[in-house]
Structure formats: structure tokens, C-alpha cells
Amino acid sequence: MSIEDELQATINDLVHANKGILAADESAPTIAKRFAAVDVQSTEDSRREYRSLIFATPDLGKHISGVILYEETLGQLSLDDIPIPKLLENQGIVPGIKVDAGKGPLVNAPGDEITYGLDGLATRLEHYKALGARFAKWRSVFHISDVQPSYQAIASNAEVLARYAADCQALGIVPIVEPEVLIDGDHSITRAAEVSEEVLRSVFGALHRHHVRCEWMVLKPSMVTPGKGAGKATPKQIAEATLRVFRRVVPAAVPGIMFLSGGQSPEESTANLNALNSMGTQPWELSFSYGRALQGPAQKAWAGERSNEEKAQAALIKRARLNGLARSGSYSPKLENEN
């Protein structure tokens, strides 16, 4: 298969009506935080047990088209000794991999951050592909304050995202481009819209500069919401603000916009996605690539006990199914009360 055919086949499998992505690529420090919240110690064994059991959820592939893995998990065997990427393929799910190496301070831009991991990336991508990964993810974050994000933070993260995406496409791996505008702070939805527009303009400018083909990438952005400390907006207000920005700056050639949940509750993120998909026809598929919003209830139900396997799987499939309904605007909060 040519590189182009390979990229197109992955897009066809990933950007699928009524399905979205499960982001299960928490780094070791992040998963340790999530496990601590349910009183579980994060060890290689506990991470393997938890991830094996959620990926084995019966019918997961009905609502989930792809799973983003962390490097450790990509090379692991499930509890039944099946390589994890193979377990996902058996469910009809495309395995993917987080490839950035985390983030740290951006020098001369107090409070802003830059994402690491470009050095040696092509070699790592070849290795991940050999293990079964067909798509990748790179996350850059943008803080909002009166003066942030700085011009340097926007321009340098956009450049790095574009160079990562170009490396992926050259090797037949679909890049998920994730510029996360953080929800932390007490900014208004108007300020969030202003920053999101600036960031996305810069990201698409850089993608263009590096000849990244929009047809063979997925955008994973934040929804446009008020800051966490600023009170709530309704799903309709969020959908309107988000689409206003995205219609200005995201090329119609991008096949899918798959949102992160970014600290919204499971119910909020489903209601907001539903509102986005209730606003008429858009140039792109509007879907989900949620981490916390899909896994939070499953982690609570699991609580580190193998005997809770079925309860954890039921909690995950419920969120996956409801988000699947939100893909077509068919979700209603009333469905939360049904099992």
C-alpha cells in the first residue's frame, strides 16, 4: 500500500460516524494521579491490569474507533497474554500512540510551556509503527491569563506541532494535532474564543508551511468554554462560540475534529458534544477523543479490584455509548439515568 493509501485507510477507520477515540495515553505521573484519586497505587502491574480490562470491554468497538496508548502499553501483553495493539484490533479499534515527551517551561515566556520530543522522533515513529500504531498524538498546551499565551508560546508550539505532523505523515502515520487551550482560570468565554482563534490560526499556518495534508490529520482541540473559575456556559453557548471560531480557521479539508474533555465532567462533555452536533451540517465530523470524561467513572468502579471488572467495563461502555449518540445530536441527559 502506498503511504497515501495507508493514511487514507487510517482516516476512514478513525473518523467514523457515531464513534470517537478513547484517550488512554496518560503518562506515568498523570495515571498515578488518576489512580490516587481512587486509592490505587500506580505500578506497571496495576496499569497493565486496568488498561487490559478496559480495552477488553465487550462491544467497545461499536462506539470507539481508536485508542491512544502510552508507550509502555503499546509493548505490553494483556492479562490474557495478547499484545495490547492486537487486542484492540480484535475489537475493530485502531491503535495509536502518544509521541510527545511532555512539556516544560518556555524560556523568556514566564508561565508559558513548550512540548518536547522532536529529537529522534522519526526513529521512534518507525518503532511504534512496527508495534502496530497507525496514528499518533502530540499535545501542546496554552495557558490563558491577561497576558498569556505569549506570541512566542503560540508560534513555537505551532511550529513544533507542524513538524511532528509532517514527520508522521511521511511515515504513513496519521497525526492527531492537539493544541489544548487550558480551562484553568477565571477568563470569560469571549477571551477563550479570542485565544483559541489565535492559536488555531497559528497552528494551521505552521501546518501549511510544513506541507502537512489536512485530509490526513485529525484536530484535537478544546471546546471554547469559560475558565473553570468563571461559572458555566450552556451547551448551546459553548457550541455556538466553538463553531464560530472553528468555521473561521479550520480548513474544510480536515476530516475530523475530535475534542478533548479537558476537565469538563463526563456529563458536561457529552452534552456539549451533542450541542455541537445539533447545530446543522459542518464541513468536518465533530467527535470526541476523551480521556477523563470516558475513563473517570470506570476508574471509580474498578478501584483496583479485579472483581470489579464488569462494573468498570459497564461504566466505560455507558460513556462511550452516550458520546456515540452525541455524535449525531441524539443524546439527552435523561439517558444518564438508564443503564
* Residues designated as active site: 178, 220
By CB under 6 A, which span of 100-108, 146-154, 255-263, 324-332 interacts with ligand 13P?
Answer: 255-263
Q: Determine the size of the site formed for ligand 13P (CB under 6 A).
A: 10
CA distance 286 to 24: 20
Q: Which of 11, 125, 293, 312 binds ligand 13P (CB under 6 A)?
A: 293
Give the shortest CB-334-to-ligand 13P separation in angstroms: 24
The smaller minimum CB distance to ligand 13P, of residues 7 and 31, is found at 31
Residue 186's CB is within 10 A of a number of other CB atoms, namely 13
Q: Which of 193, 195, 233, 260 binds ligand 13P (CB under 6 A)?
A: 260
Burial 49-74 (b: 16+ CB within 10 A, else e): bbbbbbbbbeebbebbbbbbbbbbbb
Give the shortest CB-137-to-ligand 13P separation in angstroms: 7
Q: Which of 139, 187, 318, 319 binds ligand 13P (CB under 6 A)?
A: 139
Helix residue ranges, H only, 176-219: 189-209
The smaller minimum CB distance to ligand 13P, of residues 47 and 292, is found at 292
125 makes contact with ligand 13P (CB under 6 A): no
Q: Which cell numbers hold the place of 23?
A: 484517550
Q: Which of residues 152-191 bind ligand 13P (CB under 6 A)?
A: 178
CB 181 within 8 A of CB 195: yes
- How far is C-alpha 135 from the chain's CA centre? 12
User: Is it true that the peptide bond before 226 is cis, omega within 30 degrees of 0?
Assistant: no
Q: Which of residues 33-62 bind ligand 13P (CB under 6 A)?
A: none
Pair type for strands 113-115 and 103-105: antiparallel
291 makes contact with ligand 13P (CB under 6 A): yes
The smaller minimum CB distance to ligand 13P, of residues 18 and 30, is found at 30
Give the shortest CB-281-to-ligand 13P separation in angstroms: 26
The smaller minimum CB distance to ligand 13P, of residues 6 and 135, is found at 135
Q: Which cell numbers hold the place of 211?
A: 506541507
The smaller minimum CB distance to ligand 13P, of residues 6 and 296, is found at 296
The smaller minimum CB distance to ligand 13P, of residues 162 and 293, is found at 293
The angle formed by the CA atoms of residues 62, 65 and 67, to the nearest 5 degrees, is 120
> What are residue 23's DSSP bridge partners?
68
By CB under 6 A, which span of 107-115, 149-157, 164-172, 288-296 interacts with ligand 13P?
Answer: 288-296
Q: Which of residues 10-29 bind ligand 13P (CB under 6 A)?
A: 23
The smaller minimum CB distance to ligand 13P, of residues 94 and 260, is found at 260
| E strand map for the chain | 20-24, 64-69, 94-98, 103-105, 113-115, 135-142, 174-181, 218-219, 256-259, 285-290
Give the shortest CB-2-to-ligand 13P separation in angstroms: 30
Q: Amino acid identity of 318?
A: K
31 makes contact with ligand 13P (CB under 6 A): no
241 makes contact with ligand 13P (CB under 6 A): no
262 makes contact with ligand 13P (CB under 6 A): yes
In this structure, the dihedral spanned by the alpha carbons of residues 12, 18, 23 and 24, taken in order and rounded to 10 degrees, is: -100
Give the shortest CB-161-to-ligand 13P separation in angstroms: 13
Q: What are phi and psi of 253, to 5 degrees?
A: -70, -20
Looking at residue 106, the DSSP 8-state letter turns out to be P
Which spans of this chain sit near ligand 13P (rule: CB under 6 A)?
A: 23, 139, 178, 260-262, 290-293
